[in-house]
Structures are given as C-alpha cells and as structure tokens.
Structure 1
Amino acid sequence: MSQAVLEPDAAASRGMDLLRFATAGSVDDGKSTLIGRLLFDTKTIFEDQLEAVESASASRGDEYTNLALLTDGLRAEREQGITIDVAYRYFATPRRKFIIADTPGHIQYTRNMVTGASTADLALILVDARKGLVEQSRRHAFLTSLLRVPHLVLCVNKMDLVDWSQEVFERIADEFTSFAAKLDAPDLSIIPISALNGDNIATRSENTPWYEGPSLLHHLEHVHIASDRNLVDVRFPVQYVIRPQSTTVTDYRGYAGQVASGILKPGDDVMVLPSGLTSTISSIETADGPVAEAFPPMSVTVRLADEIDISRGDMICRPHNAPTPAQDVEAMICWMDESAPLRVGGKYSIKHTTRSARAVVRGLQYRLDVNTLHRDESAAELKLNEIGRVKLRTTVPLLADEYRRNRTTGGFILIDESTNRTVGAGMIIEAR
C-alpha cells in the first residue's frame, strides 16, 4: 500500500477518548456518502484508496468523486447502490477517536442495525430534505431508543437540493422532535448538512447563516459521553481465571475480564456471585502494570485478598449492590434467524456476559410493529427482523440487571444449539 499522505498522526490519537457511533437512515439518504466525507475531511484515507474511489466513480459515470464507495465495499452494494452489511470504519481527530458503524436502511436488515447500534454511544439518523421524515426514519429512531443509545443526532441531508431552505429544515426538525418526545431520547441534536458538498460536516457552512449550532464533526468531538457510563453499580463478569505458569510463583490467582459498570479500587469490599462469598480487592492490574482504579470499559485482572473458588461466568460486585440471580427473564428480542422463527417452547443456548446457559421460551407476550409502535398480542411467533416481548426460563441463574440500567449486564444473545448461529438479541426488561 502506498504512503498514507492523508492519514492523521497515529501517535497524536493515543490515549484519547473513544466515541462509537452508528449511522442509520432510509435508502439513498446519503449515509455512506456522509461517512466518506468524514473520512476525507479528517484526512483518514490512504492516497491509493482515494485514487481507487476516483477511478470507480469515473467508471460508473459519476461526474464527482463518489465518497460513498469508501464504505460500500461489498460488490453487491456497489451494484445495487445500497448498504447491506454493517461496515465499520475508524478515524481520529486531535480531540477524539471514532468507530463508525454504517448500518443498513432496508427494513429487511433490521437485525444488522441492531447489531451496529447495540454498542454505540451515539446514533446518527439521516433524512433527505426533499422527502422529509419517512417510515424508516421513525423506525430507526425507535430502534435507537430501544437499544438505549444515549445520544441522537438527526442530520437533514441534501439541503443543497432544497435551496438551503430554513423553512424545510424547521418543518422536519419540528416533526422529528414531536416523534422523539414519545421515545426515550435524552439528548437530541438536529443539523442541516450536505454530505456530498461537505456543508456543516467538518466546518460551519456559509449556506446556512440561519443555523446557529455546531458542525457535525464539532458535535461529535465535544458530545459528553463520560457520564453515560454506569459508575454506580459495580459489575465485573469474570472471563478467565489466571493461575501461575511458573513453578517459582505459587500464590498468584487473578480474575480477568472487562469492567461492565462501576468503579473498582484496591481495598474495596466485594462479593462474588453466585456463591455470595465476600473478600477484598488486593490489587488491579492491566497489561501495562497495576492501576489505582478500574472503570468501564477497561479490561483488567483483579486479585482478591482471600482464596475463593471463582470461575468463568461468576460476577464480582458490591456486597450491598448486587444483581439478583434470576432464571425467569422478560426481554425484548430482535429475531435474527431467517431459517426458523421464534416460537413458544423453543429451546436455545443463551449467552449473557461471560455466562452461558440453556433457555426455553415460556411465552410471547406481543410482537411490536416498529413502524407504528402497535403491539400485536395475538402473535404466535417472531420471524426474521421482528421484535417482541418474550418470557424465558434459563437452566442456570443469570446475574442480570435491567437493560435500561446497564446495557452490558442487561443484554444477551440466543444461539441455535444445532447450528451454533446467533438467532436473537435480547434486552432484559425484568429478571426474577
């Protein structure tokens, strides 16, 4: 690969904050073009990548460099002009690092959007200024709300095609704000842009003197995400038990994993579930050495003062702030299997944090129409991309919280035991 003359200084991005955001919108609203513009304006693409896009644009007959081709890498997407899979891209500015999930707009790819947005700090929804809000715009807003994405940005794209009309922008903004009021959208920003021309992307545009807000990139750089983490409830699912590999070291036993929530410090009193045994943290270590505290989403090794029988799937928490071990779970589930629907009586493997068990579907309370928010209580099954409220019974107690309180300990996946395919993604509403 040739010299990355457009690549930012990698050293400058070390140790910076990381923002994960997902893009969504109806087909042809410009998601891939917007991401291509962000990569181009932040000088995060290689020279030969740009040359390849210019060549591909010319062969397609485009009169401009089609930056959407930077993300629409799948041949099927280029031929159809749509985004099918979740395309992940990475870029950085002097202030922050970013991971983008470019999710599909088609309704038949709802499962892909759920996958892309499930770990996002921010969701970016595009609408075409000429079309205004469409059914898919509302569906994507609802899904981001269901997935508890803390920040939502509505980008009114292709403003150049409506002569930068303030009236058009305000009409779309008012309509979306009214719809978002019905959802759980704690932080909403609305920005007029032209992804193709770069207006209000990296810098403020002279074409929108009536718009007083920041550019999109400025908003992404400065949106506050530190307080989005749950720093109250200590949850440390044990992923791996580290034992001494040397005959000269006999007293080392560490518990490795990723901090799901809360803050851990040496000297803290902790309890281990499901045993209920208590101890004290003697030290917390990372690949770079000991640390004074650990917080999400750090990956660390915790050592305890007492010898306790702990294994993968156990959870370290506070003695007076612990999840209740639960085998009966009610959850919203997005069904992802195209070969067979979810039905009452179905049996699956369930993966929750680092704990695995088997689960049986005890009931389907309703299927939710994500376009109208209508609940169909007569539904007998969930088909591909459908979402519904389901009752599950597990063979092993899950150490779970409500998804609205903790996205890590409140989420799980269902796996088909015969094929080992992930067939569903769940968000816990109640566990008992």
Structure 2
Amino acid sequence: MEWVVVVSVLVMTILSLLRVNVIVAIIAAALTAGLMAGLNLNDSIKLLVEGMGDQSSTALSYILLGAFAVAISYTGITSVLVNYLIKVLTGKKTMMVLAIAGVASLSQNLVPVHIAFIPILIPPLLKLFDKMRMDRRAVAVALTFGLKAPYIVIPYGFGALFHETIYNAMDQSGMVVPENDIVLAMIIPGIGMIVGLLIAIFITYRKERDAVPGAGGSELVAQEEPKEVKFNIKHALTLVAIVAALVVQIVTGELILGALTGIILMFAFIVVPFRNGDKVVTEGISMMGTIAFVMLVASGFGNILKSTGSVEALVEVSSGFLGDNKPMIAFILLLVGLVITIGIGSSFSTVPIIAAIFVPICITAGFTPLATTVLIGTAGALGDAGSPASDSTLGPTSGLNADGKHNHIWDTCVPTFIHFNIPLFLFGWIGAIIF
C-alpha cells in the first residue's frame, strides 16, 4: 500500500514526459493507484468522479476569472501595458523577465485573477521574445514564480486563502498556531523561491535561444501586433471594477463573488456592451476550461489516494523507522509532500491531506507549531511548480504556447521543477530545523 502514491505519480510523470495529454496521464495514474490499492476499475472511476466535486468551486472560479479577464481585455487596457513593456524593455531581456515576474505577482494578491491574465498578456509579446531571442523557459519560470511566491508569503488575496487553509487544517488535526506565525513560517520557503528565480534568470536561461515551431504540439498561429491604445475613461472604470472585485474577494473570502462583481460592474459601466455577454463568457470558458478540467481530474486522483489510505501508509513507513531524528523526519515529510503535490497538482488541495498526517507525527517528534507550519506549508507548495497538472504550470504554457513553440513538459514543468522545488525543499527543511 505504501508504494501506491510513488508508483502512480511516476506513471503520471513518465506519461507526461512522453508527451501524453496531461488529462489522460492523470486518469491513468488515478486508475493505477486504485488498482494497486485493491479496487476494481469501476470503484476506481467512481472515486475519481466523486473527488472531482471537491474542486468544483475552484473550477467555477477559474471560468469566471477567465470571463473577467476577457472582459478586461475588451477595453484594451492590457494593450496599454503591453505597449509600455515593449517601449521600455525592448532589448532588455533580464528586465523584461523581471517585469513579467512582477506583473504575475500582482495576480495573486492585488488583482486576484490568478492565471487568467496570462493568455491575454503574453501572446502579444511572443514576437518580441523571438526578436530578442529570449529563452521562453526563463519567462515560464518568472510566471510560475508570480503565481506561487506571493500566495505562499503574503496573506492577502489567494495568500489569505492559502494561510487560512493551513490554519484550519492544523486546527482540525489537533495543533493550534497563531495566524501571524503562518506568515513568519512561510517567509523562509518564500526566500528559497526568490533564489530559484534569480538563478534561472541570471544563470540557467541567460543565453539566447530560438523558439522551435511546433514544439508545443500545435500548429503555428499568427499573433497580432499589439495596437496603440491611449489610457481613457473606459480604462479608469475597468480599474474601478478590478478594485471592487478585489475588495469583495477579500471581504467575503470567495473568488466566485469577487469575479462576479468585476464582471457585473464591467457591464454596468458599459465598458463591455451587454450584447457581448455571451461572447465574453464563451471566450472565458475557452481560455480557462481546459485548465479547470485538469484541476477537477487531479482532485479526483487525490480523492483515490486519500480514500484508500495510500498517503498515510507512505508517511508511516517513511517516518516510522526514524525515531526522534528531527532533521531526517523533516526531510522525509517534505519528500512525501513533494510526491503527493506533484500528483494532485494543487497546494490548496494537498494541505488538508498532509496536515491530518503530519500534525500527529510532528507532535510525537517534538516539533514546535511554527516548525510544523513550515513543514505543512512547504510540503503543500512543493510540487505545485513542476507538476503537469498544476495551474502554476498550465497557466504559463497557455500563454507561451499560443504560437505552438513552447512545450508544456520540457519548457515549463521541468524548468520550474528544478528552480523552485529544490530551493523550496532546502529552505523549508532549514526552516523546520531552526524553528
């Protein structure tokens, strides 16, 4: 039973590396897990489908955020930003990548549209990337950094949801930690992500690289040149709608309500004509639907692992022979978190699963609540970068492969895995020891 998680995740990883569709790879991994745990195919599929409901709220959030992002793009405000980036940063590759990382970081806390901005902002820049011979892997790493690091460290927007998930999961598992301590605990792994970003930009992907047509498995699609657009009243009203969506999301803690608020205001301000309502929603589904469905299937995979007790068996076998050796226990727990999150593809979905297992082990081993928080938060974040099923990798690929020149596994998942999971692991391990 203890090998179910490892083998099933390996199945998904190997199939993904062989360029099998990620949804097919996850389903194959889920069925492998079910069969290894003693279930038949019918029961495995039943658990898979039942588990998909656990992420239905997240999937709906992504669809609505996609519609909101499409509505924003109709105003041309993103063209203002794209034109500014082109004007100021053409020829400055390093500054361009850092700027993209900064813009992406805003999507988690200040303007919580998550990955919905990527298919709108990045495709108009692809011709510029090619002209500058920019290594798109650096851009993928920058985007994933912006999608992860802010919510790990900053307790606003998606960060508030992540920290609340950690707090509730630990509380339900028998350990209370002050919410302010969660911020303190997550600073150290956050620093690890900054280190990984800087290594990718200034060392690994600093050299020029030509994008390869067809590398992404799709035909070449011509990208339109960004139009010259000046800031106007529609853009000002769009900013009001964005701020309102942010306020509603923070006050209610519901992404769905925040996205709905933004969409409604865009129509109420007549920034987007009401007759375009169907088109906006349809394009939002088209842009975010695949990603949302991958998240649903990944949640079903997680349900199989949880329902069969495979995760508990892996943790017990891994930690049972270590006694009170805290450094080794922390190392094993983080390794287990990495394997689980790569399979599930979501930090938010992983935290409740691992907290129920980690907290009793940490209490027995004598870890402080702060050290336990570091372990749970880092273990949840580990694998989100680099997982074929994660929105933190699917999002960057959706923008960078708009012209068919960017491969999801080799150009997004592998680079982000190397540059974020390794420093996250090391810094999280150090944090668990010093706290």
Instruction: Work out whether the TM-score is over 0.5.
Output: no
- Give the TM-score taking structure 2 as reference length: 0.26
Structure ranking higher in helix proportion:
2
Structure ranking higher in strand proportion:
1
- Give the TM-score taking structure 1 as reference length: 0.26
